Chains A and B, each alone.
Chain A
C-alpha cells in the first residue's frame, strides 16, 4: 500500500514539515483512497475534495513562506457529520437536516483550521448519534473494513471505518455512551472520550448535552494525543467547558511509562455476556501491562450494574428536548406545508417523516420519562444512580490509578442482527456508559482479534487525568505491537479480507 496511506498522522506531519511531501499530495492520496474503497465501506456522507485541497495548499504555502507549522498541519482528517463547519453539509445522519449548511463553525472546527488540519469530509453516523452500529443513519449503512458484513460500531462508525480503511489518518467523533470507543474497539482503531468539559461542545449538534463529549479517533495512541492537543481545552462558548490547562497528553503518549502504576480491573465489567475471545484478549493485555511494570488490582463498582438503565433514561430525556428544535420552521426538512396545513401539523408531519425509528423511540421514551407523574421514578432515580456511579469511581480511584475493562462485551456483530432488538443493541455500550455518566475520561486501544475481528481494551481515568489514558494506551500498544511484529491493522492489510483496501493505489 501507498506509504502515505499507511503512515501515521505524526509521521505525515513530520514529512510535510520537512518538505518531503506536500500536504496537497497527502490530501490527494487520501481522496483517491476514498474514491477507490468507499463504495464498499460507505464511511463518508460528504467528501469536500475542493475545500480539502484548498486547505492543503494553504498549508503548503505557509511552509513555503517559512512559517512555523503546528504539529498536525497538512494532515487530513475525517469529520463525524455532527460537527458544524460553515458552508459544509451537516446532517447528523438525519434526513431532517438534509441539505443544511451551517452558517458557523464549531469551536473544534475552528481549532482544526487554525492548526492546518485538512478536513476531507463528513462521515456517516447513526442518526443524531443514536446507535451502536451506524445502521440508524438516515442515508446508508457503513461497513466494517475488517468484514463488510459486520457493523463498524456506532454512532461514529463512519469515522472509525474511515481510519481502518486508510481513508484518513485522523478522525473526529463524539462519545455520549461509547460512540467513539465502541467503534474504535470493533474496527481495531484508537478512540478517546476526553473528560467531559475538556473538549468544547460548541457547534457540535447535541444528542444528550450532559453526556456528549467530542474526542479524537486515530490509528495510534500518539496520533490521538496530537489531535486531542489541537481540539482540547477551555472554550468560553461552552458553559460546561473546564477552564483548566489540558494535561500533557502528547508527552504521556510518547512516554508510555507505567512502571508502578496500579491498574484496577472492574469486576462488574466482565463475566456473563462477555464473549470468551474478548475476555481472553483482555486477560492477555493485562499480562502485557504487567510486563511493563504495572500492578494489577481488582476493584468493585457495584452501581455499574445500573449504569445502562440510568443512561437509557437520562440520554433519551435530553434527546427529547434537544431534538425538539427540528420543527420545520427555520431550517431543514418541511413536510406537508400546502398553504392550509397548520404549523403544528407541519411539525407533526415533518418529524414523523424526518426522524428514523431509533430517534422516534428515544424521543418518546424521553418524553415519557420527563412527563408529569413519572419524572421522579425515572429521570430523578436515574440522576441518583449517576451520583452512585460517580461515588463508585471516586472510591475505585483511591485504590487504582486507572480502571480497565473490555471496551465492548463482544466483537462486531452482523449488520441487521440487532435492528429489531433495541435492548440487545443497547448492551454494546455496557462498559463505556459509566464514564459518560461520571464525566471522566476513557480510551479504547486495540488488543487483538477474536474470531478474526478486533477486540478493544478500555482504560478509564479520573476527570482531568486524560494523560493517564495515553500513558497506559501507549504502553499497551507498544507491548502488543512488539509481540505481533506490527499494528493490528497491519494484520488486516496482510489478510485476504483486507486486499480490497489496496484500492487503486498499489
Chain B
C-alpha cells in the first residue's frame, strides 16, 4: 500500500504544525528505581532481577533517594516548579513486559511542572514550554521470535526483565506552536538540548542508541491561521536525533496529503522505520483506560524547600547559559558558533581551550579533520578515541614547529589507532619535522643541483618558482620538514 505524501514546502504553505514531545530519560543511578538490583545496560538476561522488579507476589517497592534527587534537579534545570507534595500513581494496563501489570508512575501530581527552556535553531531562539517532568519505571525487554522478528507476526516472545524497574524521568512539553517549517528542526534541537542538559547534570548516560533517551513525537496540522488543533499522531520510540527530524518531516507530509485530499488524520500511535516512513499502531479511539490511582505501597514525596535549595546549588552551568558565555568569550561569528553547536563540539572545544589551545585552533581541529573522521566512522565527535587534551597537545606541537599540518594528520591517525598521546605517536612513528639544518641544507643543495634551470630562474628574480624546489626537498624529506623553513633556506642559498 503506497502512502501519499505532500510536498513539504507546499504543506508548510497550507498548514501550521503543532508539536508535542515526550522524552523518556533513563537515570544513571547505580541501583534501580524501587529495588537494589544494579542499573546497568544489557547483560545476561534476567540476572539483574529480584522479587521487587519481577513484581513477585508480596514484594514491595522502596524509592531510590538518588532518583528523586535526579528528578528534582532535572525539574530545576527545566525551570519547573517542584511539587511540595506529590505521590506516585499506578498506571494499570496489561502487558507482558510489565511485571506487575501496572506501571508505577506519576499522574496528576508530577514532581516537577510548568517549566520552559529556550533552544536555538540556526540562530533563531524558540521557547519550549514544559508541561511536566515525572518519575516512573521502565519495563522489561522482549525479543519477538518468528520469521520477521517483528512483534506483529512473531510466533512467540522472550522476556528479559533486567531493564524492568530502571528509573525514568518523562519530560512532556506543552503544545509547541509557531515553528512553521522549522518544526522538525525544532524537535531535533529540543531533544539535542535535553541530551546536553542531562549530560551536564550527570543524571543520565543519554545513549539514544541504547534507549536511555527515547522520544515520542506528537504532531498535528491545522490550516494556516486556524486556532483549533488538528487530530494528532504520536510516533513512538524515535531513537536518534536524525530520526526525529525525519519522522516529523514524514508525518507532516503524510498528514498534509490526507488533509489536502479532504481526508482526516486518525488519532493513533505510529512507528518509525529507519528506512524512512511511519506505520500505524494502536488507535487512540480504543485507548486503554489506565485507571490511575495513588500508589498505596509508596508514601508521598514531600521535598522541603531546604532540600530543593540544596539541590539547586548542585546544578552545573546549564548548556544554554554556557553557550551564551562561550560565544562571547570566543568571539566567533554567529554562523561559526552555530556550526560548533550543531556539530556537538562545544564541550570538546571548551575542554581543548582549557587545555591550552586557542578557540580558533580548537574549532579548526574539531570541525575539519576530526569531524571528517567522525563522519567516516559514523560516530559522534565525542566518541572519537581522542581527548580534547590530546588535541591541545597536537596544536602545541604544530605551533612549536615540530609538526606541520600534514604530519599532524598522521599523528591523529596514530592517536585514533591507540598509539598513545600525540608526542607518543611522534616518537613512535618518527614523524617530527626535520629541523636538523645540515640535513636540510644538504637536501636543498641536492635539489638545486638537480634543477639548475629552476635555480637560475629564482636567481634572476622569479621567486615564485621556489615552490618546485620546496616540493623536491619535501619529497626527499618524506614530508618531515617545515615548508617555511625550506623556503627560507632555498632563497638564502640562491641569493
Contacts and interface: CB of A to CB of B under 8 A. Distances in A.
Direct contact of A and B (CB under 8 A): yes
Interface of A: 83-84, 90, 92, 97, 100, 102-104, 106, 201-206, 208-210, 236-240, 317-318, 320-321, 324-327, 329-331, 339, 343-344, 347, 367, 370-372, 375, 379
By DSSP majority rule, is chain B's interface helix, strand, loop, or mixed? loop
6 smallest CB-CB distances across A and B, nearest first, come from A324-B101, A370-B291, A210-B296, A209-B296, A205-B57, A203-B58
Contacts of B92: 320-321, 324, 370
Given A325-B101, A371-B291, A372-B289, A202 B94 contact: no
A83 B299 CA distance: 23
Interface in B85-137: 90, 92, 94, 96, 99-102
A239 B57 contact: no
A104 B56 contact: yes
Contacts of B54: 330
Given A209-B296, A321-B92, A239 B60 contact: yes
B157 interface: yes
Given A205-B57, A371-B289, 6 more contacts: A84-B58, A201-B60, A206-B58, A238-B60, A330-B99, A331-B56
B101 A327 contact: yes
A343 B101 CA distance: 13
Contact of A325 (B61, B99, B297): B99
22 contacts: A83-B58, A102-B51, A102-B58, A103-B51, A103-B56, A202-B59, A202-B60, A209-B296, A239-B61, A239-B298, A318-B296, A321-B92, A324-B92, A324-B101, A327-B101, A330-B159, A339-B156, A344-B94, A370-B293, A371-B289, A372-B289, A375-B293
A321 B90 contact: yes
What range describes how many residues of B lie at the interface? 20 to 34
A347 B57 contact: no
B479 interface: no
B91 to A, nearest CB: 10
A339 B60 CA distance: 33
Nearest to B92: A321
B94 A205 contact: no
A205 B56 CA distance: 9
Nearest to A379: B293
Given A343-B157, A379-B293, A324 B58 contact: no
B200 interface: no
Interface centre among B62, B156, B293 (most CB of A within 10 A): B293
Contacts of A379: 293
Contacts of B157: 343
B356 interface: no
Nearest to A82: B58
A201 B296 CA distance: 12
A240 B299 contact: yes
B63 interface: yes
B99 A317 contact: no
Nearest to B34: A239
A347 B96 CA distance: 10
A23 B58 CA distance: 30
A375 B299 CA distance: 21
Contact of B57 (A97, A318, A339): A97
B55 interface: yes
Interface centre among B55, B57, B59 (most CB of A within 10 A): B57
Given A317-B293, A329-B159, A372-B289, A239 B96 contact: no
Contacts of A102: 51, 56-58
A104 B51 contact: yes
A319 to B, nearest CB: 11
Nearest to B52: A237
Given A201-B60, A324-B92, A239 B293 contact: no
A239 B94 contact: no
A57 to B, nearest CB: 28
A339 B92 CA distance: 27
B297 A239 contact: yes
Contact of A84 (B57, B90, B155, B156): B57
Contacts of A204: 58
A470 to B, nearest CB: 27
Interface centre among B96, B100, B159, B296 (most CB of A within 10 A): B296
B291 A367 contact: yes
Contacts of B60: 201-202, 237-239
Contacts of B96: 327, 329, 343
Interface in B278-299: 289, 291-293, 296-299
B126 to A, nearest CB: 34
B64 to A, nearest CB: 12
Nearest to B91: A321
A460 B390 CA distance: 74
B394 to A, nearest CB: 53
A202 B99 CA distance: 17
B53 to A, nearest CB: 12
A102 B291 CA distance: 29
Contacts of A92: 57
Given A239-B63, A327-B101, A343-B96, A321 B293 contact: yes
Contacts of A321: 90, 92, 102, 291, 293
B59 to A, nearest CB: 7
A331 B159 CA distance: 13
B114 to A, nearest CB: 24
A358 B113 CA distance: 42
Contacts of B99: 325, 330
Contacts of A372: 289, 291
A91 to B, nearest CB: 10
Nearest to B57: A205
Nearest to B63: A239
Contacts of A320: 92, 291
Contacts of A84: 56-58
Interface string B28-61: 0000000000000000000000110011111111
Given A104-B51, A236-B62, A330-B99, A347 B94 contact: yes
A317 B92 CA distance: 11
A211 B296 CA distance: 9
Contacts of A325: 55, 57, 99-101
Given A318-B296, A325-B99, A325-B100, A202 B291 contact: no
B203 to A, nearest CB: 23
B58 A106 contact: yes
Nearest to B35: A237
Contacts of B55: 325, 330
A239 B58 contact: no
A174 to B, nearest CB: 11
A326 B58 CA distance: 12
Contacts of A367: 291
Interface string B247-283: 0000000000000000000000000000000000000
Contacts of B291: 320-321, 367, 370-372, 375
A202 B58 contact: yes
A324 B102 contact: yes
B43 to A, nearest CB: 19
Contacts of A371: 289, 291
Contact of A239 (B90, B155, B156, B299): B299
